[in-house]
Amino acid sequence: MSDPAADALAPSLELIESLAREAMASLPAPWRDPASQVVLRVEDFPSEAMLEAMDLNDPFELTGLYEGIPLTEKSVSEQVLQPDMVWLFRRPILDEWVERGNVSIGELVSHVTIHELAHHFGWSDEEIAGVDRWWE
């Protein structure tokens, strides 16, 4: 017999990462391969340094973060010091998921992932809307 408490466990870091990778793999063809070159990191919370850089005091205010130079601003003559990275923060994502109550965890993780990748690609709001139907 299944334990009802076990079925009520919050989504793990691994599940959040898996859902984010699914979102990346489902991007339209021109964006799928470049997205796969971005390092994906999932942590429970952003670091203190990240919060300071974003001028935030509450770690629950940040569901994701892009670190890198957008493709629209990169120069082939610049030396790459670190890979482009998308961070997802599980606990703030879970809080937003519970507060909303009207989206699946997969939909929310996909939305946050695509939003952070949009920074990498240098997308406009219209371009984001063409890939992420979140606001419809």
Q: Which domains does the chain have, with CATH numbers?
A: 11-65+83-131 (3.30.2010.20)
Backbone angles phi, psi at 86, to 5 degrees: -110, 125
Phi, psi of 79 (to 5 degrees): -85, 130
- Each of the 136 residues of the chain gets a pLDDT tens digit; together they read 444 444 567 899 999 999 999 999 999 898 999 999 999 999 999 999 999 999 999 999 999 999 998 888 877 777 767 889 999 999 999 999 999 999 999 999 999 999 999 999 988 878 887 777 765 5
Residue 97 tokens read as 């998921």
pTM, 2 dp: 0.87
